[in-house]
Every structure is written in C-alpha cells, then in structure tokens.
Structure 1
Amino acid sequence: MPLIENGKLVEDRFTRVADEDEALPASTPVLVSLDRFLKEEEALKSANVEVGLIWPNNKPIAEIAPYLPRLALVALNFPTFRDGRAYSQARLLRERLGWKGPLRAVGNVLRDQFLIMARSGFDQIVPAKEADARAFDEAMHSYTVFYQPTGDGRKSLLRARLGRSATRKGTTGEAA
C-alpha cells in the first residue's frame, strides 16, 4: 500500500501489527491499535522501538494525551468515506493537544478527501488505491481560496480580505 508523506510517495517504515497473536517485530517501528497498545504497553516500552498508535474515531481524542510523549506516530481512522470524525480529531490533536509529530490518515481514504485532510493537519495519508496516490499533487492544487480557517498556514478568504483592505488603508492589517 502506498504512503503519501508531505506530498511525496514514500516507503512506510512502520510495520502494522494486527491485534491477534502476531509477534512484535524486534527492531522496526510498529503501528498498533489502541487495544494492542494498552494490552502490551510494557512490552512495547521494553522493545525500545518507535510506536505508532491507531486511534479509533469513536473515542474522544483528548484521551490520547497521556500517551503522546511515548508515540512516534498517530494514525486516525476513516472507516467509511462518509465518516468524518477523524477530521475533528486531527484538528483537536494539532490545535489543542499540540501534537507536532506525524499524523496519518488510514482506512477508507479517497482522492476527493486529500485536500481537506492536509488542511486538517494530516501529513501522512494511506490512500485506498495506488492511482489515488499519484493524483495527490493535483488534489492539493485544486483550490486556492478557502472559507474555513485551519492550522495549515493558508489564510481563509476573510483573513486575506481583512489583510488586503487594512493594508490599503495604511494600517497594520490587524482585525478589529
């Protein structure tokens, strides 16, 4: 399965480990479910490998806070294309909990969602199809103006207009 990281196709260095009795790899970073993480927390600590956690979209994201210092990656799940709870989780994780590490979208991830995923804070995306991965760049440049503010650094239309009109009036551009 391809992995898009910061807009480029890359090799996934994390090994996804199933919840069943699959042994943990000895020296490679692992990506595990919350159930497996909680069940084998001590074994994961003593294994001295990087750990990524797949957080379920039906659990409040605030509950991940105590685990963040031990994580090298957080993956949020999209079980169906109609289920957008992971978007809210991503923004809360980035904007309220201050997560600076890699944030991955997994599950039913479609090409039409790439732009909003990036705007929500995802920097890694596992697309449903290989062809979708090749279309990432096109998706990222499909729109240049946005109404919604997000933490991706792009100004919303309102912020852009306020800045432009304030500059024309000779002010600093700060909104009143």
Structure 2
Amino acid sequence: MSNYIKGNTVAIDTWQTVQLPAVEEAVRKQAGKVVLFKLTGAPSATAEQIAGTELPAGKIIVPLPVWLARKEELASRVAAGEIGVWIDTHELVETLVESQPDLNALPVIGVHVERFADGRNFSIATLLRTRYGYKNELRVFGDVLRDQMFFYQRCGFDAYVVRADRSAEDALRGLSDFSEPYQGAVHIDQPLWRRHARV
C-alpha cells in the first residue's frame, strides 16, 4: 500500500528519494538536555557521505548537500526532468535558491522532517511558494502525521509521504479536518472575512 498522497488522492510515487549513507551521530546537548533535532546551520553531511551517495537511474530526489557538491554531474538529468532536491528542516532555503536561481527547473522539492519538533517545515514551504515562487510539486516526508496534514496543505505542500507505520487513507482525511480556515495562507490566501460577505 502506498503512503504517498498527491493532491487529494493516495497515489503511486514515481520518484525515488535518495538517502545519505548512514553515519554515527554524536549526541547533541544544550543546557544539559539532549537536543532531539538539528540546529539551523548544523552540517548535514560529510564529504565521505556525499561522495558515497549512490544516484540510481530514473527520477530521483537528492539531498541538498549532494545537489550542491555534484550539480554539474546531475546537469543533464535536471534538463531531462529527472532530478528533484530535498532539504532537511535545519537547512536554509536560501542555500538551495542560491544554487538554483530557477527553482521551477526542479520538478520536485522535498522537505524532510527528521523528527517533528518545531515549525521550520511550515516556514520552508511558505517561503518556497511565496517569496521564491516555486510552482511544482512540494512534498513533505519523514515524521509526517495525520494531525499535521491540514496545516501542511495551508503552507503550500501538495504532496505528502506519510510515516510508514501510519495509514495514508487516514492521513488523507486530515486534509479536510477544518472546513473554513480563518486566516489567509498559501493554500487559500484570503482570510474568512474577505471570502464571505456579512448579512
């Protein structure tokens, strides 16, 4: 069963998400407590991981550090519409924008939520859609749960890869948890009071 949702339908994912080779990560602490998420600007990958990342044939979504280091190698595949890029929530959208001024040359941009701990994933989507004018598929994957779906949609995501231990059909219902959002956002830009005339 597919855990990929495109628009308002459970679908077959035609893209393969490329992962960095695993490495042992040091436990991070801040103020004596274990930090369960990466801080903004933290390194995402080592040179060995980037060089060791396999890039299979077909349509693939590569991690941002691999994209940055191997962009020339991937140029012909970008032109063929076979390359998307994914970023972690601790990585800066501006890094992707600086490396690829025409974001719409990428058919897919993914945002990986390693562990849901804050709202950076929502901010990334909003920036991509509004400030940087990204029009193609914007997907979220990783620690994606049903109760976040409506808000992901509001921020501009239009594709979702739900956690493997959860039901995509159940998550799909989360897109319509609320019938009328009050505030304007990416998905519906007018606030409620502008969409409905008072009697």
TM-score, length basis structure 2: 0.73
Q: Match of 2:20?
A: 19
What is the percentage of aligned positions where both structures have the same residue?
28
Q: CA deviation at 1:49?
A: 5.0
Residues 27-176 of structure 1: pairs in structure 2 closer than 5 A: 28-47=58-77, 48=80, 50-66=82-98, 67=100, 68-129=103-164, 131-153=166-188, 155-160=190-195, 163-165=196-198
Task: Tell me the distance in 2 between the aligned counterparts of 1:140 and 1:18.
Answer: 27
Q: CA deviation at 1:17?
A: 1.9
Q: Match of 1:10?
A: 11
1:10-50 Cα distance to aligned partner (Å, 9 max, x none): 11111122334343223x11111011111211111134451
Amino acid at match of 2:175: M
Q: CA deviation at 1:139?
A: 1.4
Task: Tell me the distance in 2 between the aligned counterparts of 1:100 and 1:44.
Answer: 21
Query: Which one has a bigger Cα radius of gyration?
Result: 1
Q: Match of 1:172?
A: none
Q: CA deviation at 1:9?
A: 1.2
User: Hey, which of these two has a bigger chunk of helix by percent?
Assistant: 1
1:42-99 Cα distance to aligned partner (Å, 9 max, x none): 1111344511111122233233224114411111122222222010110111011110
Runs of 4+ in structure 1 off by over 6 angstroms are: none
Q: Which moved more, 1:143-152 or 1:54-63?
A: 54-63
Amino acid at match of 1:56: D
TM-score, length basis structure 1: 0.82
User: What is the alpha-carbon root mean square deviation over aligned residues?
Assistant: 2.0
Whether contact under 8 Å (1:30, 1:49) holds in the other structure is no
Whether contact under 8 Å (2:146, 2:170) holds in the other structure is yes
Task: Tell me the distance in 1 between the aligned counterparts of 2:190 and 2:71.
Answer: 41
Amino acid at match of 1:78: V
Aligned residues: 163
Cα 1:144/1:49, change in 2 over 3 Å? closer
Whether contact under 8 Å (1:62, 1:97) holds in the other structure is no
Amino acid at match of 1:108: D
Task: Tell me the distance in 2 between the aligned counterparts of 1:85 and 1:58.
Answer: 8
Whether contact under 8 Å (2:5, 2:172) holds in the other structure is no
